[in-house]
Amino acid sequence: MTISVEKPIFEEGSAFKKSGDKIGEFKLDGGFSMPKMDTEDDEAFLAPEMNAFGRQFRDYDVESERQKGVEEFYRLQHINQTVDFVTKMRAEYGKLDKKVMSIWECCELLNEVVDESDPDLDEPQIQHLLQSAEAIRKDYPNEDWLHLTALIHDLGKVITLPQFGGLPQWAVVGDTFPVGCAFDESNVHHKYFIDNPDFHNKAYNTKNGIYSEGCGLNNVMMSWGHDDYMYLVAKENGSTLPSPGQFIIRYHSFYPLHTAGEYTHLMNEEDKENLKWLHVFNKYDLYSKSKVHVDVEKVKPYYMSLIKKYFPENLRW
């Protein structure tokens, strides 16, 4: 099946603009029809220029107490995310033996989580999920898989809670990046990688490192966090979300790729096709963050129907 999707162009100020008459065509298995955005241009989601704190989005340089905490977060993350650490985390959390519960139960657990790496919002995560999902639902009303992907993309953050092992935030949230190859300078606060043991390991500090060009992101180890964990949960529990949905879950925090355009040498053709949908998703993930809350009970029945469609009733976490 061949479908057409308008390919977004990210620009400073607007962050998302359509590419005029250019249409990106790609094929998707599974029978899912994914047309271009259904909303007229003057009604489409408009990215705000300022975050909830009155500053530019993803501004990691402005002086503030919150920014100091964010920088300390990235210092710890960059020092500790190594090949050995990621290998151990994937083995431990790949067991999926922490809890058995439904998707919606996990959504409710996120009320206990605030992302310390996020300079744009300090609201409970459940609101960010619903804000993203509802914004996408408005512009892409027929793509229910994308609505659900937005709702669940951050559920992996529960691994910071005690019942899931209580991992420190640097092992759960923040931008992700490949380990096992050179740390690209597009990574936020790149300077702190110098204290990462892999930075000085000759097997890991070249452009390709332990990988080969075009090997595919599925064969690349990413820094451990909620993205990879939620991907494992979805995959191992037999989710029927289409490939782009699972790709979004796994790589939505991979800003060096989807925003800076780095690490593309590791991608294969399937990655390139899925990246088009990640570009669509990204503006809603980043720019829908708001202090205005979504009425959870009002929208819950709709999302419960999507959960039933794409996931089993209870999942191993």
Which among 206, 150, 179 is positioned nearest to 83, based on CA atoms? Answer: 179
Which ranges constitute the DSSP H helices of the chain? 65-80, 83-93, 103-109, 125-139, 144-152, 226-236, 243-251, 255-258, 269-287, 296-310
d(CA 172, CA 167): 7
- Strand 2-9 relative to strand 17-27, pairing: antiparallel
Query: Is 139 annotated for ligand binding?
Result: no
Query: Is 195 annotated for ligand binding?
Result: no
Query: Is 265 annotated for ligand binding?
Result: no
d(CA 32, CA 310): 13
Query: Is 253 annotated for ligand binding?
Result: yes
Query: Is 157 annotated for ligand binding?
Result: yes
d(CA 149, CA 281): 9
Query: Is 128 annotated for ligand binding?
Result: yes
Query: Is 153 annotated for ligand binding?
Result: yes
Query: Is 175 annotated for ligand binding?
Result: yes
Query: Is 154 annotated for ligand binding?
Result: yes
Q: Residue 252, class by beta-carbon neighbours within 10 Å (0-12 exposed, 13-18 middle, 19+ buried)? A: buried
Query: Is 200 annotated for ligand binding?
Result: no
Query: Is 293 annotated for ligand binding?
Result: no
Query: Is 226 annotated for ligand binding?
Result: yes
Output the known binding site for Fe cation.
128, 153-154, 226, 252, 285
Output the known binding site for substrate.
58, 115-117, 157, 174-175, 252-253
Output the known binding site.
58, 115-117, 128, 153-154, 157, 174-175, 226, 252-253, 285
